[in-house]
Amino acid sequence: MRRPLALVLLFLFNLLLSQQMVTGIITDENDIRLNSVTVINMSTDQKVICNSSGEFSIAASRNDELRFVKAGYERASKRVLTDGINSRLIITLTQLPQEIEEVQIVKLSGDLSKDSRKVAKVDLGAQVQAAVGLPQPIGKMREKPAEVKKVLLPMLLGSLNIQGLYDLVSGKARKQKRQYQYEDLQEHIAWIRDRVDDDYFVKMGIPVERISEFIEFSFLVKPLIRTYVKARNLSAVLLRIEEVIPLYTERLKEPKQ
């Protein structure tokens, strides 16, 4: 029993030694550092996101291919440690030509029968993209937080994810999850506020300075509202929000302790 265990430990030890932390900087053609670039180790499928200064760090072994992906830029690839030297990488991404369309924000009055028609305008850009088959980004370009089962279980099979293990032990993965939850919440609140005039809430008895607070409260009372936000179904959002307004306005009338 001891010999197989010793062999497994020896394999893991050798694997750990074979991997190194590869660092680098990502810029555009004008030597301006880029942020939020996804760096993927194609051999291990490990992914990291570079910081606001364009710097990244990722575990890699000899001859691993690193791929660099950012929306609006041509992807780039680089094989690392091919000469046994772990030097800092300088990666340059080339921006793709883009046509910028005018963005219009529709303010609403609160009349669902009228406002839903305003929001349901035809998205000509989306129709063109669908017609020519342009690929659309799926989800957000975020570094995926490490998960226990996806880090520890592969270790039993001899695959060691150094970065994932570090993220779990240091608490980075837990902080990432909390940060992403907060960012999504603020984004959903802003999506509603960008499309609904403040007067709509004020007429319902919600003070201007408490509108964002009320929207967050409505998410807690009726979580389904956030599903409609993700689906960009404004009329359904407003319908559910109006059901929560009486509950919130009653809470405002309660004397403070």
- Single-letter code of the amino acid located at 61: S
pLDDT score of 26: 95
Amino acid code (one letter) for 206: I
Coil, strand or helix: which one is 177?
A: helix
What does the alpha-carbon distance between residue 23 and residue 213 come to, in Å, rounded to a whole number? 42
Per-residue pLDDT at 77:
92
How many CA atoms are closer than 13 Å to the CA of 254, on its beta-carbon side?
A: 8
In the predicted model, what is the mean pLDDT of the chain? Answer: 78
pLDDT in tens, 210-257: 999 999 999 999 999 999 999 999 888 989 999 999 999 888 887 665
Q: Does residue 198 carry a pLDDT above 80?
A: yes
pLDDT at site 45? 84
DSSP states of 192-229: HHTTS-HHHHHHTT--GGGHHHHHHHHHHH-THHHHHH
Stretch 20-43: mean pLDDT: 91
Residue limits of CATH 2.60.40.1120 in the chain: 2-96+139-170
Q: Which residue has the tokens 């837990």?
A: 174
* pLDDT score for 167: 76
CA distance 23 to 90: 9
Cα 16 to Cα 42: distance, rounded to the nearest angstrom: 18
Query: Residue 62 has what pLDDT?
Result: 86
Q: Is pLDDT of 103 > 60?
A: no
- pLDDT for position 180: 84
| Residue 1 confidence (pLDDT) | 46
Confidence of residue 24 (pLDDT cuts 50, 70, 90): very high
Pairing relation of β-strands 76-79 and 65-69?
Answer: antiparallel
pLDDT in tens, 142-181: 677 777 777 677 666 667 677 777 777 778 878 888 888 8
Q: Which two tokens mark 137?
A: 């980004």
Pick the CATH number of 2-96+139-170 from 3.30.530.20, 2.40.50.100, 2.60.40.1120, 2.60.120.200: 2.60.40.1120
- Confidence (pLDDT) at 175: 85
63-79 pLDDT, tens per residue?
889 999 998 899 999 99
Q: Is 74 helix (H, G, I), strand (E, B) or coil?
A: coil
Look-up of token digits 């791929």: 67
Q: What is the pLDDT of residue 250?
A: 87
Question: What is the pLDDT at residue 44?
Answer: 86
pLDDT for 23 equals 92
Query: Does the structure show a pLDDT above 50 at 55?
Result: yes
